[in-house]
Amino acid sequence: MDHSRINNRWPMAREGIPFIIISAGLLLIVLLAALYYASVIAGLAFVFVIYFFRDPERTPASDSPASVLTPADGRILEIVHIPENHSPTGLPAVKISIFMSVFNVHVNRMPLGGTVQEITYHPGRFLSANLDKASKENERNEIAVQATDAGKIVVVQIAGLIARRIACWVEKGDHVKAGQRFGLIRFGSRVEVYLPPETRITVQVKQRVRAGETVMGYLRDRGIEGLRKG
């Protein structure tokens, strides 16, 4: 587990430091060269890089142990029931897909607390992340978590048309907490969560959500104290 990134106290993700240095250097060069129009473009690029890699603190909207937090900022693309032969959990599941534009915070957070069982990387294409086929054809990283008293869930980081780098800061065997940072995808992408089919979903398609803050749903019939009844 990369504690320096997971417990980040900076206002931006450490993954962005090289990009900030490069964009700042470029801005300095064009300013020294007195290239007005180029300096405007370089200045905008510098501001955008800082904005893109921002990493704000988040407070969950619910502290119930049964609540499932959103793993990514963005817009809900779809909520569908998946049969076991198409689910990375190996069981029937509810899949929730979230699209992150280049204007969203790109630091990903854990939906639930538990233990990381497996991390599986799949090379692939770089189709636009808002396309359905991006789920299976794009480069992606699957993180299986055995949630406390809640069965197995899988979070999938999916690269997009511009995104070419998936960062995962946890490892197999790590114990994670709900809302904890676990990774980042650069420059527009998609994150999916596979939950037990009996989960009571509380978000809707097209809804805007915030990682580690918005509650996507509540687990059912798993013997968890504090479970909300639907």
Segment 29-83, tens digit of pLDDT: 999 988 889 999 999 999 999 998 999 999 888 778 788 999 999 999 999 999 9
Is residue 62 one of the residues assigned to a domain?
A: no
| Predicted local distance difference test score (pLDDT) of residue 225 | 40
CA angle (185 as vertex; 178, 127 as ends), nearest 5: 125
**Rounded to whole angstroms, how far apart are CA atoms 153 and 144?**
6
| Predicted local distance difference test score (pLDDT) of residue 229 | 38
Contacts of 186 (CB under 8 A, 6+ apart): 15, 106, 163, 164, 165, 167
Is residue 226 one of the residues assigned to a domain?
A: no
| Predicted local distance difference test score (pLDDT) of residue 187 | 74
Is residue 134 one of the residues assigned to a domain?
A: yes
| Predicted local distance difference test score (pLDDT) of residue 162 | 67
- Write down the pTM of the prediction: 0.87
Residue range of the domain that includes 136? 67-218
Residue type, 199: T
Pair (100, 19) in one structural domain:
no
CA dihedral 20, 25, 29, 32 (to 10 degrees): 90
Pair (71, 153) in one structural domain:
yes
Q: What is the CATH number of the domain that holds 128?
A: 2.70.70.10
| Predicted local distance difference test score (pLDDT) of residue 102 | 85
Domain C-terminal end among 27, 52, 77:
52
Is residue 90 one of the residues assigned to a domain?
A: yes
Pair (37, 91) in one structural domain:
no
In the chain, how many domains are there? 2
Residue 101 designated active-site: no
Pair (176, 90) in one structural domain:
yes
Is residue 230 one of the residues assigned to a domain?
A: no
Residues of the chain scoring pLDDT < 50: 222-230
Pair (32, 99) in one structural domain:
no
**Rounded to whole angstroms, how far apart are CA atoms 177 and 156?**
17
Pair (42, 85) in one structural domain:
no
Pair (27, 83) in one structural domain:
no
List the catalytic residue out of 23, 87, 135, 189. 189
| Predicted local distance difference test score (pLDDT) of residue 164 | 62
Is residue 223 one of the residues assigned to a domain?
A: no
**Rounded to whole angstroms, how far apart are CA atoms 156 and 182?**
12
